[in-house]
């Protein structure tokens, strides 16, 4: 294997839709957040799902069935007396076809109806009549902050969760009423992440995964520094994939502008020293460490207190450098990492961004760092891009993961890591 084997070719065809083959009932209850349901419906369809929209009468005051039909490509149901089904039982037929029922927005009143088992309209009736073992119920609450905090609402939320519903979180921010606080419905993209995560197998359930991602920035003075072209996209994709696989994930991120994946605990750092301290601190609780970050090898020996100015003489300031600590090697030397593959050990995965001789350099780095798995890629071919190709190097040899989106590769890599872990780890 050499570098040219993993150089980018023309962009591949669109990734396989992550919800392909899934049939979802999307329920809308009354609330201003119905406008988000329109975008959510569009994203579900784009992800490959077929979507059957069911609306309450109150929802029709905020967005029309015509709009939701245009977005879903299917007739919308509102009334439990709808005569279109041959047996006049829309509440039975629609729920039997569904892989899941997702209600977004789920108003305080709608949640109260579910908690009490009331079914005065088609949507709550459908939820009550669905086969719970085959059509799980996901609720995306949306309401005013006072309604969200009210003891009755919190009691109802606990009840519906006890009855088997999966209650998604709410956002904190500005609300349609002009107030500010908890109760906003999650954004459409966040809801899509939650649905995809819900359907993803959980081979890392109960595991704790630590991921480093992005570049580091080594200050020369208050306005300049040394960094690299890493965007952090691969590491963030891995963090998301690990969370979807059931792990509790901590992401130590260098200076990047990427949004935090849903359900991931993020620790922002700047320099290699910052990242080293955070990684060593969180490694004590981790079962898997994935060192994706492109950490600077050297830093200026001392950063200037003020901006270094040129004086027009052509003289170049002399900079002295010192070596940064080796985060991967230091974590791999921890006693729990050294005890691999014993139960309770820490499994370490390194990354190598090379510019040539990928296989030889990856093999040498794996041996030098003392880790069971080293993932190699060609840095210039992937930095800042949405696609990549990976080379997995372990004691058995090397395996290529062909060029694909970083999202796809992250899921493949997480599956490979899960396959390598012991069936059970005792702490």
> Could you give the CA distance from residue 369 to residue 332 in angstroms, rounded to a whole number?
7
Active site residue 177: yes
| Helical spans, DSSP H, in 145-303 | 145-149, 151-162, 188-199, 233-244, 272-283
Nearest to 293 by CA among 257, 255, 341, 321: 255
DSSP-assigned letter for residue 346: P
Q: How many CA atoms lie within 13 A of 167 on its CB side?
A: 26
Task: Name residue 351's beta-bridge partners.
Answer: 375
State how far the Cα of 98 lies from the Cα of 91, in Å rounded to an integer.
11
Contact indicator for 139, 191 with CB cutoff of 8 Å: no
For residue 136 the two structure tokens come to 């799980």
Integer Cα distance of 353 and 39 in angstroms: 37
Q: Is 134 exposed, middle or buried (0-12, 13-18, 19+ CB in 10 A)?
A: exposed
Residue of 34, 60, 127, 177 with catalytic role: 177
Closest by CA to 21, choosing from 54, 53, 55, 44, is 44
User: How many degrees, rounded to 5, is the angle at CA 88 between CA 86 and CA 94?
Assistant: 90
Question: Cα–Cα distances in Å, from 335 out to 297, 331, 367, 423?
Answer: 24, 9, 18, 21
Classify residue 37 by its DSSP letter. H
Locate 337 and state its tokens: 């990492």
Q: Which two tokens stand for residue 209?
A: 């995964």
Catalytic residue list: 177
């Amino acid at each position: 294997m050499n570098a040219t084997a993993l150089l980018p070719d023309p962009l591949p065809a669109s990734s396989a839709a992550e919800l392909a083959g899934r049939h979802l009932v999307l329920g809308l209850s009354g609330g201003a957040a119905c406008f988000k349901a329109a975008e959510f419906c569009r994203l579900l369809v784009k992800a490959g799902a077929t979507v059957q929209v069911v609306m309450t009468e109150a929802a029709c005051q905020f967005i029309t069935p015509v709009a939701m039909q245009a977005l879903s490509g299917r007739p919308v149901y509102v009334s439990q007396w709808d005569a279109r089904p041959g047996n006049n039982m829309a509440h039975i037929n629609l729920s039997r076809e569904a892989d899941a029922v997702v209600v977004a927005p789920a108003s305080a009143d709608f949640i109260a109806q579910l908690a009490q088992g009331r079914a005065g309209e088609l949507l709550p009736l459908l939820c009550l009549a669905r086969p719970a073992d085959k059509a799980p119920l996901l609720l995306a609450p949306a309401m005013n902050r006072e309604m969200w905090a009210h003891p009755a609402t919190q009691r109802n939320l606990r009840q519906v969760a006890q009855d088997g519903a999966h209650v998604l979180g709410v956002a904190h921010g500005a609300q349609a009423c002009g107030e500010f606080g908890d109760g906003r419905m999650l954004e459409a993209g966040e809801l899509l992440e939650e649905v995809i995560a819900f359907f993803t197998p959980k081979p890392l359930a109960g595991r704790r995964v630590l991921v480093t991602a992005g570049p580091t920035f080594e200050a020369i003075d208050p306005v300049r520094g040394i960094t690299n072209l890493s965007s952090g996209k691969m590491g963030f994709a891995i963090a998301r994939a690990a969370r979807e696989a059931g792990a509790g994930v901590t992401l130590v991120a260098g200076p990047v502008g990427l949004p935090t994946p849903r359900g991931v605990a993020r620790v922002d750092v700047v320099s290699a020293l910052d990242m080293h301290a955070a990684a060593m601190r969180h490694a004590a609780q981790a079962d898997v460490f994935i060192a994706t970050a492109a950490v600077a090898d050297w830093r200026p020996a001392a950063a200037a207190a003020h901006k270094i100015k040129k004086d027009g003489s052509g003289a170049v300031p002399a900079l002295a450098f010192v070596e940064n600590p080796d985060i991967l090697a230091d974590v791999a030397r921890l006693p729990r990492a050294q005890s691999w593959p014993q139960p309770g050990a820490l499994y370490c995965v390194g990354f190598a961004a090379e510019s040539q001789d990928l296989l030889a350099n990856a093999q040498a780095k794996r041996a030098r760092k003392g880790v069971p798995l080293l993932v190699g890629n060609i840095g210039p071919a992937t930095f800042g891009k949405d696609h990549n190709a990976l080379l997995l190097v372990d004691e058995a040899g090397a395996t290529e993961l062909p060029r694909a989106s970083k999202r796809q590769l992250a899921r493949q890599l997480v599956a490979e890591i899960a396959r390598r872990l012991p069936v059970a780890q005792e702490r």
